[in-house]
Amino acid sequence: MEKTTVVTGATGHIGANLVRALLAQGRYVRVLLHVNQRAVEGLEVEIARGDVRDLASLRDAFRGADVVYHLAGRISLSMGDWPLLEAVNIAGTRNVVEACLRCGVRRLVHFSSIHAITQEPLDVPVDESRPLVESRRCPPYDRSKAAGEKEVRRGIERGLDAVIINPTAVIGPYDFEPSYLGEALIDLACRKLPALVNGGFDWVDVRDVVAGAMRAEECAATGTKYVLSGHWVSVSGLAAIVEESTSVPPPRLVCPLWLAHVGAPFTVALARLTGGRPLYTNVSLRALKSNHNISHEMATRDLDYNPRPFRETVVDTVRWFEENGYLGRS
């Protein structure tokens, strides 16, 4: 009998790439869909309708599964949103763990985030040995992902075979929604971003994250977690590569982070009025001044993980957006 791989969050950015990579391996893939299915339309997958907040639907979706990749989650750049983050990222992960145990799933690959890991001290590289964030001063999203990891650890104590993946800022093709970072690239390519800010982040290609996670599924020891980072690049450096790819000049105005923090509440208010998603919030600006050195040494050693050049990632992503009509939108 053909073994089944289940993917939650299959219509998200990482999920859309993961499903395609699993299919390329010849896997039988079942995807858990809540509402939108655009990212998997036309793919040879089995569809299971459900929600990570509904344990019964997960038990139906996981029945007979060999491996579950858990990517379904809520992302927030706000200091609010805790009830939804708690329901999806914490209670939802608890339900995934419970469903895996009840259905006899052989292995769970849980996707956490670099934001679940403490960034300070900033002059010491971030790796898997760092503690999870706990302070209530940290953004709710960060705390929710850290708490989600703890749910997986509790499952491991009960006999679950699971590994944990902590990617940095993911960027790359098949970004259908698009993601916050995808929107930033689109805005740069369409001259919609009014200003850049000082600072930067560690960006990683979504295809490298998928390859690392699949390798972890194959060979990682139970309970192992892997930081999958890429390259630290400034926002201005990102804009320069977009300019090379599109011939569209970046914004001339580059704001210091302190000034961007002052203006962030107005950006958020404007987004609420227009129905958009604010890119520059106090949470996202905080991330742009986080640790510059995020180590993937352990993943390189254990998984042969080797992130591709950042320029290649940006060029491929801009091309994908262009070929799929995102850069022609008004």
Report whether the peptide linkage leading into residue 121 is cis, meaning its omega lies within 30 degrees of zero.
yes
Residue 315: Cβ-neighbour burial (10 angstroms; 0-12, 13-18, 19+): middle
Largest CA distance in the chain: 60
Residues counted in the chain: 330
Q: CA separation (Å) from 313 to 88, 188, 251?
A: 30, 15, 21
- In the predicted model, what is the mean pLDDT of the chain? 90
Strand ranges of the sheet holding 28-33, from the earlier edge strand across to the other edge: 46-49, 28-33, 4-8, 65-70, 107-111, 162-167, 225-228
The percent of residues above 70 in pLDDT, for the chain, comes to 89
Whole-number Å distance between alpha carbons of 161 and 226 = 15
- Give the residue extent of every domain in the chain: 4-177+202-232+293-307
pLDDT tens sequence across 35-75: 888 999 999 999 999 999 999 999 999 999 999 999 999 98
Q: pLDDT category, 250, cuts 50, 70, 90? A: confident
Lowest mean pLDDT among 97-106, 245-254, 309-318: 245-254
How do beta strands 169-171 and 107-111 pair?
A: unpaired
Whole-number Å distance between alpha carbons of 312 and 320 = 12
Would the pLDDT of 84 be above 80? Answer: yes
pLDDT tens sequence across 163-203: 999 999 999 999 999 998 899 899 899 988 887 888 889 99
Q: pLDDT category, 267, cuts 50, 70, 90? A: low
Whole-number Å distance between alpha carbons of 311 and 237 = 10
**pTM (two decimals):** 0.93
Overall average pLDDT of the 7-26 stretch: 98
Q: What pLDDT was estimated at residue 279?
A: 65
Q: CA separation (Å) from 176 to 58, 189, 271, 305, 321?
A: 24, 16, 21, 26, 9
CATH number of 4-177+202-232+293-307: 3.40.50.720
Lowest mean pLDDT among 31-45, 95-109, 156-170, 277-291: 277-291
